Chains A and B, each alone.
Chain A
């Protein structure tokens, strides 16, 4: 992040301040020991958050025979992209990748559009029985019928084994709507009022004034929504059980099958069942992680804002 002139100025002032009050800030021996321990602990923890990804990555780009013998520990050897080439032939992974990308893009887009519109509507006091409908929506955040009734309900609605099961239930997201609503409430009401005086309708005000102003918060919920879609796998697990629905398995679900299902069979009867090779497991993991890591820098910009707004409203 580029530093603004003001920040630079502050830093300078801070340094001068420290110089002036050097005696007060003189480091004692215990301070130094504390700092060393403090830095070390944080370094170790942060390292533990990065290293596993690196470790899996070097497994996927190293010579498979070396990987199998356990020779790859801290750095890659015998660089190869054969794992990634091989995975292109795994039809299941390719189709799962497409499904995951599709649900993330479509699901997030619809969720953001709906959240913007609903967030705007629930700020309009004129709406018929606004309070009632707002409560009707918010209460669903804290109360649900349970997993199985939900699954049976999806079956009832014909969404079991249907790609739309990923999209439609996620369109209305009360939590994100509250974020948008809170944001819209912080926009000066005069902007809207003047537009109404000029004869604009509600939709015009929404499109021309509210939507552009809400872009920061919409970007925030878009990123959280997208990560949520990408990561969710229980819906795929519970709704796509029929063999015909296998084409709708998400990437996370396929990875789950590779990791858990096969391994379980493995452990119960001494490995007589063929398992997915570790190379495929690792490569599939990388394919699943990489999109998250790619959007991560963009997310960083927004998530501080998101969590603060969320904390305000719960």
Chain B
């Protein structure tokens, strides 16, 4: 290897700096903290969500419509035109980062390629600077508007929205009876427009009602009137809609439904209706093409929420990265010197291969490593706010609450009991597939054998949803079993022997498939062993016990050891399908608990993250233990 000259050393260092800058840029576009299109926030009251990254903002229209921008536009703080400008700036920034990344990749090539890479990098950096300057400029325009707004009277506070039927009484009252009774679980698109022409769209009203107006009927699981969380616009509205005489009253607030009781959580966030001016609004419900217009009277509420422009400081980060890239590229362009005439672009094999792999490395990073960033939720009170936001740092609260709070502790211990109970039930019977294979081997009719292997593996290939569909067909109140016995019993809501039932479904689904590995194992056993044993007078069972089983044992032990690593992962699908009000106590396993904490009205993201994090950490420790055990048993481990 030839010795590097001083020049080469310097340019080597500069390239490393440039590549790091490009990599930082590529990473930054995925983090909301570094999203310069986030330019509005609420000064007092409830802050806005900040969960969109620059990447999202650039590739999707809904992504860029953060709360801040929506409110900004709806209150004339931001002209609709500047929204397009903002979008363009985001796209420029994204393209700039991509070009800088490509340039960094190309800089590992030969001289000709390096010179091209300088051009690409500088081009990307220029795009970054242009995008950054555009965003700063939008800010300059907006800032002046906000100042005017703040000096004027605030019209942006609302706590009560009254939805009164005035315009189209027929549609709402008489027809509503049939209309509503036909559309349980239906989703209404809802448009709210006020008399000055401003409107907010994309909300949805989900109404679950019975056949009559008796409000007592509406209390129950999934039976509330609510305007759903609209993730695309990051509008977190939840309303309680009640019928009061002739009126439908919509009160903003965060309601949680528990055990048939309606409770109002006053401290919860989510009253962003404040972005609509006071006055009369038109509310349009659209369902299957039928629309009903209603007037909504918006009155001023108690708390005012002031919007303010925040300067996206992170835009300077992109500009700084751009400057670094430009400087290093220019210096290197001089240092490297002119490429020999006629030299083709070329790159060393090792880097060629690496760059082919690079896009996949980024994908792996984005979907398997980046989620680790979500562990920050374990330290916050409200996951929609930044961890550094005032009063949002929860410390170790979510870690201790599971054990400190007696209600949580009881629930959590029950979950652990179910998780471990069901797992151990599976572990203790994990020899069944092996026995299945051993006994199937005693079936001498090869056609019957083929028939069994073919059809006993089918259940493995259908989802748990379909397994539940089968269970429904056979064991529900109208199912085959009830039908044959002439009774009307729904076995799916029977809370007896649930663990055994779940184990039975799991075994039914998996045994044929798990047995295949042992069937292949048996096929590999030397037939002479059997012949020798027969000549020595060994019977059928002796041969099974003394030849077949010992030959399969190493495979079995390794499989068993590895399944110990998955002891906390029962999988969610099966228990999600089979759990209902009667069976949830015995079927609430960790995976399902984590899911239910967040979805279907849970909303407990921090707690759920803590539980999931604990599970991941314990699982990886178990995995390494199991791996070394497997190594000790069969000589080589899994990784």
Contact = CB atoms under 8 A, between A and B. Distances in A.
Interface string A249-275: 000100111011111110111001110
Given A52-B474, A70-B478, A140 B469 contact: no
B612 A149 contact: yes
Contacts of B439: 38, 41-42
A210 interface: no
A225 B555 CA distance: 25
Contacts of B370: 153, 156-157
A308 B357 CA distance: 27
B185 interface: yes
B51 A155 contact: yes
B459 A233 contact: no
A162 B231 contact: no
Interface string B135-173: 000000000000000000000000000000000000000
A52 B573 contact: no
A239 B272 CA distance: 23
A243 B364 contact: no
A157 B469 contact: no
B8 to A, nearest CB: 19
A243 B377 contact: no
Interface stretch (A81-89, A121-129, A180-188, A214-222): A121-129
B53 A157 contact: yes
A78 interface: no
A55 B580 contact: no
A117 B363 CA distance: 14
Contact of B540 (A31, A42, A138, A243): A31
Interface in A130-162: 130, 133, 135-140, 142-153, 155-158, 160-162
A195 interface: no
A146 to B, nearest CB: 3
A296 B461 contact: yes
B459 A265 contact: no
A134 to B, nearest CB: 10
Interface string A32-59: 0011001101110110111011011001
Contacts of B451: 46
B305 interface: no
Contacts of A256: 465, 577
B80 interface: no
Interface string B315-352: 00000000000000000000000000000000001111
Nearest to A240: B231
A234 interface: yes
Interface string B458-496: 110111011011101110001010011000000001000
Nearest to B468: A259
A227 interface: yes
Chain A interface size band reads 35 or more
A98 interface: no
Nearest to A124: B353
Contacts of A260: 468, 576-577, 580
B73 interface: no
Contact of B223 (A121, A230, A269, A296): A269
Interface string A275-314: 0001001100100110011001001100110011001011
* Overall SS of chain A's interface: helix
B573 A233 contact: yes
B360 interface: yes
Given A157-B53, A259-B465, A262-B185, A171 B363 contact: yes
Given A45-B456, A56-B469, A142-B639, A169 B202 contact: no
Contact of A168 (B363, B371, B455, B483): B363
Interface stretch (B55-63, B239-247, B403-411, B412-420): B55-63
A118 interface: yes
A304 B51 CA distance: 45
Contacts of B381: none
Contact of B493 (A142, A144, A267): A267
Contacts of B43: none
Given A127-B357, A262-B185, A272 B469 contact: no
Interface of B: 30-32, 51-53, 55-56, 59-60, 62-63, 181-182, 184-185, 187, 189, 202, 204, 206, 208, 210-211, 217, 220-223, 228-232, 349-354, 356-357, 360-361, 363-364, 366-375, 377, 383, 439-440, 442-443, 448, 451-452, 454-459, 461-463, 465-466, 468-470, 472-474, 478, 480, 483-484, 493, 508, 512-513, 516-517, 520, 534-535, 540, 555, 559, 562, 565, 572-573, 576-577, 580-582, 591, 594-595, 597-599, 605, 608-609, 612-613, 615-616, 619-620, 623, 630, 638-639
Task: Return the 9 tightest CB-CB contacts between A and B, nearest first.
Answer: A146-B612, A149-B374, A158-B56, A314-B638, A145-B371, A231-B463, A127-B353, A140-B368, A243-B204
23 contacts: A45-B452, A49-B458, A55-B480, A56-B473, A121-B353, A145-B374, A145-B375, A156-B51, A157-B53, A158-B55, A158-B63, A172-B360, A202-B352, A241-B599, A242-B230, A243-B230, A252-B465, A259-B465, A262-B185, A265-B208, A267-B580, A274-B181, A300-B457
Given A45-B452, A149-B377, 13 more contacts: A34-B442, A128-B354, A140-B368, A142-B620, A146-B616, A148-B605, A152-B605, A231-B461, A238-B595, A256-B577, A264-B580, A304-B516, A307-B513
